[in-house]
Chains A and B, each alone.
Chain A
Amino acid sequence: MAFSLDPHSRIDSPVHRIPAAAKLIAALGILVATVSTPRAFVPVACVLLATAALSRIPPLFLLRRLIILEPLALGVAILALFQPDGGRIFARIVVRATLCLLTVILLSNTTPFAELLRVFRRARVPALLVTTLALMYRYLAVLVEESERMRRARACRTFSGGSGRAWKSLAAVVGRLFVRATERADRIHAAMCARGWK
């Protein structure tokens, strides 16, 4: 199965059936409540857990996605530990970030991305931003597959070497990937122009 940002966005559940616009507004509301009032933590958590249960998305998947994204939140939160009463601030930032992440993960896995884009468009989000998001979503999978192929090709010709060499080869893959992505961007632009893009 190819890489996908939102593998569960097309299953059927009561949550999936809610119109995309309603879900987007609800998610925004939850984000604002979580960020602005500490007292909202418990009710928000309850709402999110209930949504998760109703959505029929495997809980393990949600947990794994959270763990992947958590370091970003922790990186910021750790700075809080260096101030007086840092422990409490740290805990608050982590809880807040986790709830926000869970909200977004749930939104993106209960709503096909194309529908979210349609809502953005209707809400008059600038067209350039929507197009950029659409292209990002479309080509993320292509990029991941390309990097995976390059990593494999490297691994096939890597016979020895410590971590130093591994870092070096990773750097080469990242550099090459950047060049390839740029070339692909040129070809995509040509393909868009060929069908009348101005």
Chain B
Amino acid sequence: MSPAAAIEVRGLRYRYPDGAEALSGISFNIAEGECVGLIGPNGAGKSTLLLHLNGILPDPPPPEPSVFVFGRPVTEENLPDIRREVGLLFQDADDQLFCPTVYEDVAFGPQQFGDDLALPRTVATALGLVGLGGFEKRAPHHLSGGEKRRVCLAGILACAPRVLVLDEPTSDLDPRGKRELKALLRDIPTTKIIATHDLELVVELCSRAILLDGGSVVADGPTGALLGDEELMLAHGLERPHILQHRHPH
């Protein structure tokens, strides 16, 4: 038997509380170690889909789960383990940095999971990984946008997740912030799912892309072929990234 997929989604449907259908039957598998870009126009359902991957949505989890993490269904009793295995980076860093100091924020996850003894070392290691060693005592609201995003990432890495789920990791960052974050993500070998409008990020980091529109998977395939298909991209509010246009075989 082949090893269980890192993330398996089977016929996932979701309606907003107001009745509008957000996800209408989504299925895909992501193998361990893969880095997958999730693209699609605004309102395609990308963020909603991501919130399902660690059981934030639906609340409470349904009796018949459609999401499986390393073969385990996302159910009420599996939630603590699944939230530890799937680290979720939110779109707005201010939503995610809810503690008064950087140290407490990075320590929040490990603390919930009961790793009190090794805490200072875990935090220092995580901050070191994102290049912010020594930031422990800083207040989150006094950090730059790029620093905030990296502290968020440290807070997730401190939980040692097996899958990283990132929602628009490069939005609101200046070019340097983007470059640094990309380099950082490239060095993290964990399985990654990145929802983004930053198509160059997808080209540079992801070997596979999933195109979502109107709550369904429209296309799923190798990044180069999918993002290089100009007609497909334009039809779904996207475009063929420049980085691919200049890659002609001369």
Contacts and interface: CB of A to CB of B under 8 A. Distances in A.
Interface of A: 2, 4, 112-114, 117, 134-135, 137-139, 141-142, 184, 187-188, 190-198
A196 B95 contact: no
A196 B90 contact: no
B98 A193 contact: no
Given A141-B141, A190-B51, A114 B92 contact: no
Interface residues of B, number: 30
B116 to A, nearest CB: 13
A84 to B, nearest CB: 48
Contacts of B11: none
Nearest to A135: B98
B98 A114 contact: no
B218 interface: no
Given A114-B101, A137-B100, A190-B51, A195 B83 contact: yes
14 contacts: A2-B142, A113-B100, A114-B101, A114-B139, A134-B98, A134-B100, A187-B90, A187-B95, A188-B96, A190-B95, A193-B83, A196-B80, A196-B83, A196-B112
Contacts of B32: none
Contact of A194 (B88, B101, B142): B88
B141 A142 contact: yes
B194 interface: no
A197 B100 contact: no
A137 B80 CA distance: 28
Given A142-B141, A195-B156, A184 B83 contact: no
A186 to B, nearest CB: 9
A138 B54 CA distance: 26
B35 to A, nearest CB: 20
Interface in B41-60: 51, 54, 56
B100 A117 contact: yes
B98 A196 contact: no
Contacts of B54: 194
Interface of B: 51, 54, 56, 80, 83-84, 87-88, 90, 92, 94-101, 104, 108-109, 112-113, 139-142, 155-156, 159
Given A117-B100, A191-B90, A138 B140 contact: yes
B236 to A, nearest CB: 26
Given A2-B141, A193-B83, A194-B56, A138 B113 contact: no
A188 B95 contact: yes
Given A2-B142, A195-B108, A184 B95 contact: yes
B87 to A, nearest CB: 8
Given A193-B83, A195-B112, 6 more contacts: A114-B139, A142-B94, A187-B92, A193-B56, A194-B83, A196-B112
A192 B152 CA distance: 12
A30 to B, nearest CB: 25
* A-B complex: 8 closest residue pairs judged by Cβ atoms: A196-B112, A195-B109, A114-B100, A187-B95, A194-B88, A141-B141, A191-B96, A114-B101
Contacts of B95: 184, 187-188, 190-191
A139 B141 CA distance: 9
Contacts of A184: 94-95
A63 B80 CA distance: 50
Contacts of B101: 114
A5 B92 CA distance: 22
A144 to B, nearest CB: 10
Nearest to A3: B141
B98 A138 contact: yes
Nearest to B55: A193
B98 A188 contact: yes
Contact of A197 (B97, B104, B112, B141): B112
A118 B239 CA distance: 51
A134 B109 CA distance: 16
Contacts of A192: 98, 108
A195 B80 CA distance: 9
Contacts of B56: 190, 193-194
